[in-house]
Structure 1
């Protein structure tokens, strides 16, 4: 494979182990701890410490610092990430912290299941297997190594939910055909006294605070607008704000860009310039077993599976994904099964509705029409 070609990840292939540097385990941790102890009055950014000890990986240094902070050997400040050794860390003299206690073994029923992660809206995200780990683990590891990811798949499969669960510090730009550069960089807003104040946009905030930035529906954004991202994503990690004194903005440690793409959506264009900026492309599909686990009736799931097969074959342009199935479960709980079935049929585009109705009739065995107001009682 051409090394410039993005690496697609769709299955559960095992990752290639790191080659290592030939040093014994814990070498980098002790090096980090020793430098902090020798400069106990200083607060270090991750990049500063990486340069000071000539470490090969900022991500590895960050992991060592987080271990120290978790053990109480260092203080951890965010926005940006900064660390300073504590007295406990000095007393430990570079010794590795004791391992965290292992969680109790689960019974056979729960064996191998990962705990769900909370999203900002309070809903839970249930991790899925990816590359020998979970999707949450993989995204976090890629962020540590500054490897940008493009998530692609039909709307409603959980791309945004995955990113929100993986990165609690997330900022988001939701793309449309009307998105402009100012939506990334910021703009002047009027003040009550008649003046104006410049308010920085999410790209600037994410860079300065070392936060993750999701560009959702990125392929709906005009290519000329998306170009504002590229200097922030490459080795420069620097942008300027033309509309505000050409101010220079440098990316702090932790800054990370991830994007979402819905193939087949009208107006979505995945340009070569955009695709090449993301080293890893991950397909996100609906987890049918999870839908059942979350209370979606099996006939609805089976109908969705059949319709997705038609979607893949080009026979329809729409099929229910996890979002629609979870909506089905909520409507069923509130209004009953017949209303939920009719509502799901009504969510289909007019051109595909007959095929959707046929799939639902086959699974539920009843006459179905879209949810429609009837006569007055």
Structure 2
């Protein structure tokens, strides 16, 4: 590939080896580059985690080495998209909610369509992922009740098994090679993560809003400036346990689209409507006036009125 695609057709093997050895010897000091990674989500911009590895690489390596991990961060920061970019169609996604039961994870008997009184067993996403050796994404994990979380414990530790007494045929399922679990959580939401589950995760990856990616995706600079100030403020106040609203990547991309279709003032008003009322909304309005140079034209939440 090096010889045929890098403009070095006809170069000798010695030249290739020399360049490869130089690249390896300087890899630890070189600036990280993850743009070359071919992800399963067109347009996804991989992120550098520790100055060396990309999020795509980390998610894939964790699966290879049977590691389970936690992705934490506010909604709309790209946690689910990162998992999809890393694993593509192999990824099995289960959405968690406060009324979730163990059956939602492991499976249950369901009516057979068109056959009265006939039921068949349908495996849940956990059993499916274990049997097929697939990565399992548990989205909005904080909403999974603690009692249901306990179902995952033997699957996440060295046993890598789950026993389902109601399941016909094989009641104890052992995870096939390739099975791993990604836990997505929004801090401060729902029941949280129990200690035993957290102990079984190899590491936790914090996923904030990627403002550099937002800039590459053509979000207007004024909105990025507002987001930067709000994120800095939220970070400073989080030390005291205060959770402030910050615009998600989804919100910033919506602002970009609205600014194109309508104008930046309309986009700003839509953003204000997302922010909780009170001091936080007032702060957002002040920042929007400053960065968009609106003078006294303060954006208000979108609302229809008679002409």
TM-score bin, normalised by smaller chain: 0.7 to 0.9
- Aligned equivalent of 2:181: 257
Instruction: Give the match for residue 176 of structure 1.
Output: 97
- Counting helix residues as a fraction of each chain, which structure ranks higher? 2
Would you say the 8 A contact 1:115–1:127 is kept in 2?
no
Query: How does 1:58-73 map onto structure 2 within 5 Å?
Result: none
**TM-score of the superposition, structure 1-length normalised?**
0.67
1:62-211 map, 5 Å: 103-104=5-6, 112=33, 114-115=35-36, 117-119=38-40, 123-131=42-50, 132-168=52-88, 169-191=90-112, 192-194=114-116, 195-211=118-134
Aligned to 2:17: none
After superposition, the C-alpha distances for 1:13-46 in whole angstroms (9 at most, x for unaligned) are xxxxxxxxxxxxxxxxxxxxxxxxxxxxxxxxxx
In structure 1, what is the equivalent of residue 148 of structure 2? 225
CA distance in 2, matches of 1:114, 1:100: 17
Mapping of residues 346-365 of structure 1, within 5 Å: 346-351=273-278, 352-365=280-293
TM-score w.r.t. length of structure 2: 0.81
Q: Give the C-alpha shift of residue 375 in structure 1.
A: 1.7
Deviations 1:181-227 (A, max 9, x none): 11111122212211111111111111111100011121221111011
| Secondary structure of residue in 2 paired with 1:197 | strand
CA distance in 2, matches of 1:373, 1:174: 35
Change in Cα spacing, 1:360 to 1:151, as seen in structure 2 (3 Å) is: same
Give the root-mean-square deviation of aligned CA atoms.
Answer: 2.2
The reply to whether residue 372 of structure 1 matches residue 293 of structure 2 is no
More displaced 10-residue stretch of structure 1: 244-253 or 279-288: 244-253
| One of 219, 223, 227 as aligned partner of 1:296 | 219
- 1:330 equivalent to 2:239? Answer no
Structure 1 gap segments, 5+ residues each: 1-98, 106-110
Runs of 4+ in 1 over 6 A off after TM superposition: none
Whether the 8 Å contact between 1:117 and 1:125 is mirrored in structure 2 is no
Contact 1:190 1:197 in 2 (8 A): yes
Per-residue CA distance 1:143-172 (angstroms, 9 max, x = gap): 111111111111111111111101111001
